[in-house]
Amino acid sequence: MMKFWKGFLIDIQFFTAIPIKLELPMDQEHLKKAVQAFPLVGLLQGIIYSAIFYFCSEFTPFSHLAAAFLLWLATIFLTGGIHLDGWMDASDAFFSYQDQEKRLEIMKDPRTGAFGVLSILVLLSCRFLFIYESTVNVENVLFIIIAMIPFLSKSVMGVLLLTVRAAKNEGLGALFQKAAKPQSLWPYPFYLICLLILVSFFSKEFFIIGILILAAACCTFLFRRKAMKWFGGITGDVLGAAVEGIELLLWMTVWLLHYFVME
């Protein structure tokens, strides 16, 4: 249990801006536990997002626009921009239309190109639109959805990490991948079942959660194929881009449900 707790703290250090001023062990066993804790870090992020939106909606005079904007800001600053950096690097590499080897070289370049800038503007603009219009009607299921999105995206990140080969033998992605095997993913369905049981006490609209889970599963299949085709495997940047892309697609799913199902 102590190793799992330390693995969870490693994830917080790597993937959030929450200050953890501890020197944590980075051996194979602790990194394996960190991979197993990916969904829980996503759930923690989601709970924080939901709490921010709930507080702004219920206890402040802020307009819906202001509450949605603060939620949008939280999705940027809580992660410290680590996944957004991967999104920009992967976008620069993809839109270069070069071969896989050249794309990996481009991702290693610390400079950001025009395509990286344009892609992040599109990503963040679309995310704000989806968040703003999807949160017009504040209901219990909405707070569950907000918490579920990063939980699912981090779950997919773990699946991609351990089921797609590494495109290179260095970097953050390779570091975590060397520490665990696909069999290490066994806690993921356990987390999901426990979360669904908990959700059942607060909302009966399981079809919405089910659609999000199905969308995340489709994203997993899509990103596994595209990572191999475009980059020859996964890297830390590719995983970061996947997290951002999946969260955007999940928010888009909620946005579409808002128009065609939830009205």
* pLDDT tens digits, 121-158: 999 999 999 999 998 877 778 899 999 999 999 999 99
The string of DSSP letters for 224-256 reads: HHHHHHHHSSB-HHHHHHHHHHHHHHHHHHHHH
pLDDT band at residue 263, thresholds of 50, 70 and 90? low
In terms of pLDDT, which residue wins out, 46 or 114? 46
**Domain residue extents for the chain:** 80-260
Work out the angle at residue 150's Cα, subtended by the Cα atoms of residues 144 and 152, and round it to the nearest 5 degrees. Answer: 85
| Distant-in-sequence, close-in-space partners of 156: CB < 8 Å, separation ≥ 6 | 216, 219, 220, 223, 242, 243, 246
- pTM, two decimal places: 0.94
Task: Tell the residue number behind the tokens 């969308």, with chain if given.
Answer: 215
Does position 33 have pLDDT exceeding 80, yes or no? yes
Q: What confidence score (pLDDT) does residue 77 get?
A: 93
Give φ, ψ of 63 to 5 degrees: -70, 170
43 and 147 Cβ atoms separated by less than 8 Å: yes
